[in-house]
Amino acid sequence: RSCSPSLARATNASRRARLVARFSDIYAQERLDAETLLRSYTSDVEVVQRIIYIAAVESFHAAKGAYRQFKMRVREILSLGHSGPESLEDTVLDYIVRHEDLYDIQSSVNEVIRSMNINPKISFSPEINFIVISNLIRELCRVAFSMQTLVPPLDIAFGTDGELFSDTKYHRSIGSDFTAALVAYHVWPALMENDVVLVKGEAVTKR
């Protein structure tokens, strides 16, 4: 019987580094591509930025839900014949890491778009079809799902309009009132590991 660490645990640090970097890449590339697409529908920068932030939040929500369901199914199947030497939990995690391609990402994308269509903060923009930013949503779902396989898993910070601005969690956007103490709205979520900020998000502050 092998005493070596499981695949998931042995590769945890390298996968974590890759996923944190990928989250930053999405902010720098896919987010800006989505912004360009949305600006062809509306010139209201706040609406565009709110749409993208909500897309990020909903993508993490959908991917985490899909991961929980996927993990439950895998555990149910593998528990029938599990005998070790790894724990059942490690065996389940190894299976998911090896078979992440089985994640039905399109279902998550569809779920995100449905949620966005009924979100009161952005549903007043009927001229915008959120399918146009499905590439951003897909990449966010993909990275969010993979982040659930880490120990500990990574997540985004919960943010609300009007919250006290935290310079440990966010950069202020261009156009912010730098003397304002409250967040008017969020542009991009902060990436967290438990209560530690790994990558700062972005927010607009106004009086």
164-168 average pLDDT score: 96
> Is the separation of the CB atoms in 181 and 164 below 8 Å?
yes
Biggest alpha carbon distance in the chain?
Answer: 63
pLDDT in tens, 104-136: 999 999 999 999 999 988 876 667 789 999 999
Distance from C-alpha of 78 to C-alpha of 90, rounded to nearest angstrom: 11
137-148 average pLDDT score: 98
Instruction: Give the chain's count of helices (H) and strands (E).
Output: 7, 6
Lowest pLDDT segment from 3-12, 101-110, 150-159, 183-192: 3-12
Per-residue model confidence (pLDDT) at position 149:
96
Per-residue model confidence (pLDDT) at position 89:
84
Domains and CATH numbers, the chain: 7-153 (no CATH), 154-206 (2.30.22)
Closest-CA residue to 12 (of 122, 163, 154): 154
Owner of token pair 């959120």: 130
Per-residue model confidence (pLDDT) at position 85:
66
Q: Which helix (H) or strand (E) holds 136?
A: helix 134-147
Per-residue model confidence (pLDDT) at position 124:
62
Kindly indicate the confidence band of residue 84, based on its pLDDT and cuts at 50, 70 and 90: low
Per-residue model confidence (pLDDT) at position 160:
94
Hey, what are 99's tokens?
A: 């078979």
Kindly indicate the confidence band of residue 91, based on its pLDDT and cuts at 50, 70 and 90: confident
Distance from C-alpha of 125 to C-alpha of 176, rounded to nearest angstrom: 24
Hey, what are 36's tokens?
A: 């360009």
The pTM (predicted TM-score) of the whole model is 0.92
Distance from C-alpha of 3 to C-alpha of 194, rounded to nearest angstrom: 28
Mean pLDDT of the chain: 92
Owner of token pair 């972005």: 202
Q: Is the pLDDT of residue 17 over 50?
A: yes
